[in-house]
């Protein structure tokens, strides 16, 4: 197709050269018969060269016309006539001036013509981009963007453009939308979506021409591919540099519009999730506040009834079970309240320098109330370790981690607490480990997520609510420390967290 177009352009240029030079020769003969001077005939030939340069493309035609005009002038109007020989040497100067003038004039005319053509192309390109951009601005979803884009591209390139959309995960749709007529678009099944994806992903720049029916241009977003613009092979091969540049510009505008829609969808989804999270937090907070008072009463009453009942009495175990469950529920309520405050950013850290040993002793004492038979070993430096902390929150961290360890620990095995001070790093590392079966590898990355529970029995701590470790994570990070979980080499799991020896001023927990 390209060769056919070039052949037509060459034939048109040849016909123009024959017409204008022939006309100039006829007029020159008339001028010679009338007796006009030769300079007038030279001007006629120069004018014909200008016209040829004006209506043809490229310097070759203008230069060829200049030389041909000089030869015609020599053949028809210099002695001896009808030959290319010259008797008068002064004619060589005339021929030289004539060729030089014709070439320069032709070059200037061609340059002007090319500038005009480039200006028209830029104007056409600007109009096409403006039309595309203005219509894409009003598009509200991906399907509209694709429809508008292939319609405009089909009009500008005079082809039947098509587009394959990709989803958020970068997977191609099983179809492509193609313009098949004036304001008519159809969905066509895409036979090998995965093959198309692989070809596009391996494409670093340019386009893919492996298909017999289409040349494919990728539509890239910031993070992943958004789609593929398809131009029929015959039309794609006929595209010159200008039209390819225009096509790339329109594809970039399409990508920007698609990115805008995806970002708007993500913002809407994020806003909905935020609203749902706020409602959930308000609900949990309200329920937790309502449960606090009756739970405190149940705990106190059950504890009092235990003390009033002989341990051999059959009712004693029932009261003990009620007391333990009430304690667990109260701990759960405190965890829910702390979590909602942390997530809302309303929890104020009240930091004071506290002795870490006292915090650990108090946490162990409270755990012993609930699990009196559990052995807990503590290993820490002999020196007094003072840490700026919110003692209530750090106490809750120790209790949650100890409950988690006891939950997974064999009844006869101890739970170990180990404290190490790193003076150079200016932090304290605390390790709480058990001798259970460890944590499933699939759960290690997720156990600090709120409400995360595993299908295995080694999930989050107490009664598997999925809150205890999430609160520990938030509290430790609010204090400027880090927390992680890992399995020990021999047996069991180990939860390790750090606390800085020099803390930030009091403020909101992030």
CATH number of 306's domain:
1.10.287
Q: Is 56 contained in some domain?
A: yes
Location of structure tokens 């009092």: 304
- Average pLDDT for residues 401-415, to the nearest whole number? 86
3-state secondary structure of 469: helix
List the single range of 81-85, 193-197, 330-334, 367-371 with lowest mean pLDDT: 330-334
Q: pLDDT grade, residue 388 (50/70/90)?
A: very high
Which domain-ending residue is among 246, 263, 280? 263
Answer yes or no: do 115 and 157 share one domain.
no
Helix (H) or strand (E) holding 171: none
Q: Is 443 contained in some domain?
A: yes
Answer yes or no: do 156 and 69 share one domain.
no
Answer yes or no: do 500 and 371 share one domain.
yes
Determine what percent of the chain is predicted with pLDDT higher than 90. Answer: 16
Question: Residue 298 is part of which domain span?
Answer: 272-340
- Cβ neighbourhood burial of 266 (10 Å; 0-12, 13-18, 19+): exposed
Q: Is 131 contained in some domain?
A: no
- pLDDT tens digits, one per residue of 446-464: 788 776 665 554 444 434 5
Q: Are strands 415-422 and 376-379 parallel, antiparallel or unpaired?
A: parallel
Q: Is 100 contained in some domain?
A: yes
Task: Give me the pLDDT at residue 204, please.
Answer: 57
Answer yes or no: do 502 and 359 share one domain.
yes
Q: Is 133 contained in some domain?
A: no
Q: Identify which of 276, 222, 220 has the alpha carbon closest to the alpha carbon of residue 251.
A: 220
Answer yes or no: do 305 and 398 share one domain.
no
Helical ranges in 191-313 per DSSP H = 193-201, 233-237, 241-308
Answer yes or no: do 258 and 362 share one domain.
no
| Count of domains for the chain | 4
CA distance 74 to 306: 132
Q: Are 239 and 245 in contact (CB under 8 A)?
A: no
Question: What's the pTM value of the predicted model, to 2 decimals?
Answer: 0.49
pLDDT at 7 over 90: no
**Within 10 Å of residue 100's Cβ, how many Cβ atoms?**
12
Q: Are 475 and 461 in contact (CB under 8 A)?
A: no
Q: Is 130 contained in some domain?
A: no
Task: Give me the pLDDT at residue 58, please.
Answer: 65
Answer yes or no: do 208 and 325 share one domain.
no
- pLDDT tens digits, one per residue of 84-134: 777 777 767 766 776 777 677 767 777 777 777 777 777 777 787 888 888
Answer yes or no: do 120 and 143 share one domain.
no
Answer yes or no: do 377 and 441 share one domain.
yes
């Amino acid at each position: 197709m390209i060769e056919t177009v070039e052949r037509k352009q060459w034939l048109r240029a040849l016909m123009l050269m024959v017409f204008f030079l022939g006309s100039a020769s006829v007029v020159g003969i008339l001028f010679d018969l009338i007796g006009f001077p030769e300079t007038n005939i030279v001007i006629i030939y120069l004018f014909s060269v200008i016209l040829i340069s004006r209506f043809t493309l490229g310097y070759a035609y203008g230069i060829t016309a200049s030389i041909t005009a000089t030869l015609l002038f020599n053949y028809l109007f210099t002695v001896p006539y009808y030959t290319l020989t010259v008797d008068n040497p002064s004619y060589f100067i005339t021929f030289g001036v004539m060729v030089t003038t014709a070439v320069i004039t032709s070059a200037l005319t061609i340059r002007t013509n090319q500038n005009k053509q480039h200006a028209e192309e830029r104007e056409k390109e600007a109009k096409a981009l403006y039309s595309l951009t203005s219509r894409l601005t009003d598009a509200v979803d991906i399907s509209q963007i694709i429809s508008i884009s292939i319609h405009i591209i089909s009009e500008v390139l005079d082809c039947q453009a098509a587009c394959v959309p990709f989803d958020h995960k970068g997977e191609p749709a099983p179809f492509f939308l193609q313009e098949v007529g004036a304001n008519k678009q159809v969905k066509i099944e895409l036979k090998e979506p995965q093959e198309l994806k692989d070809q596009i992903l391996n494409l670093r720049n340019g386009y893919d021409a492996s298909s017999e029916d289409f040349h494919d241009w990728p539509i890239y977003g910031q993070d992943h591919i958004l789609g593929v613009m398809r131009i029929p092979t015959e039309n794609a091969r006929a595209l010159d540099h200008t039209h390819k540049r225009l096509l790339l510009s329109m594809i970039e505008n399409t990508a920007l519009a698609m990115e805008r829609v995806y970002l708007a969808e993500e913002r809407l989804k994020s806003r909905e999730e935020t609203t749902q999270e706020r409602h959930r937090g308000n609900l949990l907070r309200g329920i937790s506040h309502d449960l606090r008072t009756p739970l405190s009463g149940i705990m106190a009453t059950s504890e009092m009834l235990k003390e009033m009942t002989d341990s051999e009495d059959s009712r004693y175990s029932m009261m003990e079970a009620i007391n333990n469950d009430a304690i667990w529920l109260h701990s759960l309520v405190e965890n829910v309240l702390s979590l909602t405050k942390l997530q809302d950013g309303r929890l104020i850290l009240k930091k004071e320098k506290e002795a870490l040993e006292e915090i650990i002793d108090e946490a162990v004492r409270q755990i012993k109330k609930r699990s009196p038979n559990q052995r807990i070993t503590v290993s820490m430096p002999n020196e007094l370790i003072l840490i700026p902390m919110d003692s209530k929150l750090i106490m809750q961290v120790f209790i949650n981690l100890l409950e988690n360890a006891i939950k997974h620990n064999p009844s006869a095995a101890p739970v170990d607490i180990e404290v190490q001070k790193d003076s150079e790093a200016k932090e304290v590392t605390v390790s709480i480990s058990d001798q259970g079966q460890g944590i499933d590898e699939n759960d290690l990355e997720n156990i600090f997520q709120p409400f995360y529970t595993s299908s295995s029995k080694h999930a989050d701590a107490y009664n598997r609510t999925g809150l205890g470790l999430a609160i520990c994570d938030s509290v430790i990070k609010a204090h400027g420390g880090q927390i992680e979980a890992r399995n020990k080499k021999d047996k069991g799991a180990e939860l390790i967290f750090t606390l800085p020896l020099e803390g930030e001023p009091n403020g909101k927990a992030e």
